[in-house]
Each structure stands twice: as C-alpha cells, then as structure tokens.
C-alpha cells in the first residue's frame, strides 16, 4: 500500500474522480483506470497537470513520475470535440545571498538558490507565485532585475516542481497552486473552453470548426446532439456551420480581440512592440513581461517577440542576438495554427 498514490481528476459536469494507482505506473494505466470509472475512451480527452498536457497516444508509455505526479496531485480532463454537421470522426542549494525581493540578508536564515542562480526565501517565493496566479498567470518567471539597469532582468522560468519544493508548500497550498496553474493555463494558454451546458473543459479537434458537439450533454439529453458556438459559447441555432444565429456573437476567435487590445511596449530599445503575441506555430497567446526578445512557447517553438521570425535551419536567430534591435512585425490579425 505504501507504493500507492491517490490522484484527484476533475472530469466533466464538475465531478472529481479519485484514482488509486501505483506511483511507478504508466500513463496508459491511469487512462485505463479512468475509463473503468467514467466510461470515456482515452482518445476522447486529454489531461492537464499544472501547465503540462498529458495525451494518451503521445505519452501512454511514459511513467507518472516523468510528469512529477505524486500523492494528492490534481489533474483536469479536457474533452476533444468534433465539429458539428460532420461525420464523428532534487537537493536544495542554500546561499547567503540576499533575498531578491525583500533584500533580507540575515545570515541565520539562508535563502534557496534557484536554478538560475538567484536567491529567494520560502515566504517570498510563495507570496510572489501567489501574486502571479491571482493575476491569471501560469508560468513562474524569475523576478530578478539588475539594480544598475532596471531594463535588464532574468529570463529564467521556474518549473512548478522546483517551486513546490523550494517554497516548502503545505498540502493545502500545493493543491491550491495546482488548481490555479491548471485553470489559468486552460483558460489563457491553449484555447480551451468550458462547454456552456455541462461546464466540462474541452478543445477542438480541428481549429477550423466553429459548430461544436458536446458528447456529455448529448448523452444526457436522450441522444439529441447538443451543439454550441465555439466563439460565443451559446447554443447553435442555424442549420449551417459558419453562423451560429446568436446576435451577440462577433463571429471571430476571441484571441483576435486579445491581440488587438494588447498595449505596445519597448523591448530591448525597440518601441511600439505589441505586448502580446500569438505563438507562430500553435497560436497560444504569450505576454512579454521582461528581459529579452526571444521566446520559447510550451509547444517548443522558438521565435522573436519583435519580428516574429523563428530560428533558421541551422538553429541560428535570423534577427541577431537576444538584445539586438530588429524590425517590428505588424500586430497579428489571424491566429496561427488554425
């Protein structure tokens, strides 16, 4: 029994399923246990743990430990929807450097040395990460700023596993962090919506589809298809696939509005750069906070936030080094990856 862990999986209709599983089990074992309890086939959904997506086909032979799943971790199930009117297809290193936030340099209370080399105390780390989550963020970026030049920061991103350990989170704090990271990631990062009927998280199988079918609601409604508009999240009211029939619907991807409303800022001395960009591969909305112009999306695509150019075939940046000015690409009016 000591090798068993308990996982909490938020499924559909707001229900949470408890799974008891061996700590060294594979991802396919977790999906099979969920199928036994929910009746859902593994290919019908993905799972999200903090800011990592777990896909059955892609990750089935990986182990739970590779995603750092441990006892009482919280996961979220995300439905993969078909379009309507179509065939259903770890040791802590301590340092006496001052805390980068409070500047506490008490020699009797040493700080943790983060992977990027900067120092922070557990209380400061917890408070800082709390503040990020409360504003809808899901990534933990190092807050260090050069005292001699406020425009120079640290580009490092801290994995939740590191934060969880170095912030010395209680079980309650860990659960809260996992929930907020996952929810923020789902709502802001990967174009996932909540079904207006059952409130299940879901995503489109095809980025071109607008008229969506929810299998959970359809099953509940005696087999009648429950269809809704992906953009306005209201019930689909027309026989077509391009106009939903709701007066309040703009007919546009809501991410377009986010890109259009983004304020401009100066990055590495280049003015008038939109503060939010869509990843040039998957379309995820990314906000520039501080530091250099080069970005790496969670889909592993690297690109320049200013000119939107990726690396060339030789792995070199087309626009120069991370602090070299380049030409500003126009504000994006379409979402890539659709």
Cβ neighbour number for residue 44 with a 10 Å cutoff: 17
Residues in the chain: 338
Q: What is the pLDDT of residue 84?
A: 56
How does pLDDT run along the chain (338 residues), one tens digit per residue? 678 999 999 987 778 999 999 999 999 999 999 999 888 888 888 899 988 889 898 899 999 999 999 999 999 998 887 665 433 334 567 777 888 888 877 766 667 888 888 888 888 888 889 888 887 788 898 888 887 776 677 878 888 988 888 887 888 888 999 999 988 887 766 678 889 998 888 888 887 889 999 988 888 767 688 999 998 889 999 999 889 999 888 888 778 888 888 999 999 999 999 999 998 988 888 888 877 899 888 777 899 999 999 999 888 999 988 889 999 999 998 887 65
Q: Nearest CA to 126 among 67, 68, 71, 176?
A: 176
Beta-strand runs (E) in 205-256: 211-214, 226-229
Dihedral, 198, 204, 205, 206 alpha carbons, nearest 10: 150
pLDDT of residue 74: 93
pLDDT digits (tens, 9 = 90+) for 46-90: 899 988 889 898 899 999 999 999 999 999 998 887 665 433 334
Q: Using alpha carbons only, what angle is made at residue 282 by residues 279 and 288, rounded to the nearest 5 degrees?
A: 20
Q: Can you give the pTM of this predicted structure?
A: 0.56
b vs e for 101-129, b when ≥16 Cβ sit within 10 Å of the residue's Cβ? beeeeeeeebbbbbeeebbbbbebbbebb
pLDDT of residue 317: 92
Cβ count within 10 A of residue 284: 21
Write down the pLDDT at residue 89. 31
pLDDT at site 88: 30
- pLDDT score at 168: 79
pLDDT digits (tens, 9 = 90+) for 122-158: 888 888 898 888 877 888 988 888 877 766 778 788 8
């Amino acid at each position: 029994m000591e090798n068993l862990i308990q996982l909490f999986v938020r499924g559909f209709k707001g229900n949470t399923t408890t799974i008891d599983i061996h700590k060294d089990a594979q991802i396919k074992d977790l999906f099979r246990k969920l199928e036994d309890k929910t009746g859902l086939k593994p290919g019908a959904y993905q799972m999200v743990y903090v800011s990592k997506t777990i896909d059955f086909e892609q990750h089935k032979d990986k182990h739970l430990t590779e995603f750092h799943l441990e006892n009482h971790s919280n996961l979220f199930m995300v439905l993969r929807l078909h379009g309507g009117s179509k065939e259903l297809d770890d040791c802590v290193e301590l340092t006496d450097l001052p805390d980068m936030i409070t500047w506490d340099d008490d020699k009797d209370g040493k700080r943790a040395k983060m992977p990027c080399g900067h120092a922070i105390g557990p209380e400061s780390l917890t408070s800082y990460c709390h503040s990020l989550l409360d504003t809808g963020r899901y990534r933990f970026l190092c807050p260090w700023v050069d005292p001699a030049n406020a425009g120079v920061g640290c580009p490092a991103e801290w994995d939740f596993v590191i934060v969880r350990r170095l912030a010395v989170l209680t079980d309650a704090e860990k659960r809260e962090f996992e929930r907020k990271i996952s929810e923020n990631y789902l709502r802001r990062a990967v174009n996932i919506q909540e079904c207006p009927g059952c409130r299940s998280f879901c995503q489109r199988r095809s980025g071109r589809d607008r008229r969506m079918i929810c299998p959970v609601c359809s099953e509940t409604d005696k087999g009648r298809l429950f269809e809704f508009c992906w953009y306005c999240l209201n019930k689909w009211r027309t026989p077509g696939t391009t106009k939903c029939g709701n007066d309040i619907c703009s007919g546009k991807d809501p991410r377009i509005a986010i890109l259009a409303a983004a304020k401009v800022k100066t990055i590495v001395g280049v003015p008038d750069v939109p503060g939010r960009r869509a990843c040039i591969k998957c379309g995820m909305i990314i906000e520039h906070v501080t530091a250099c112009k080069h970005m790496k999306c969670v889909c592993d695509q690297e690109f320049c936030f200013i000119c939107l150019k990726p690396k060339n075939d030789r792995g070199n940046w087309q626009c120069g080094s991370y602090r070299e000015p380049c030409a500003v690409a126009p504000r994006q009016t379409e979402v890539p990856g659709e």
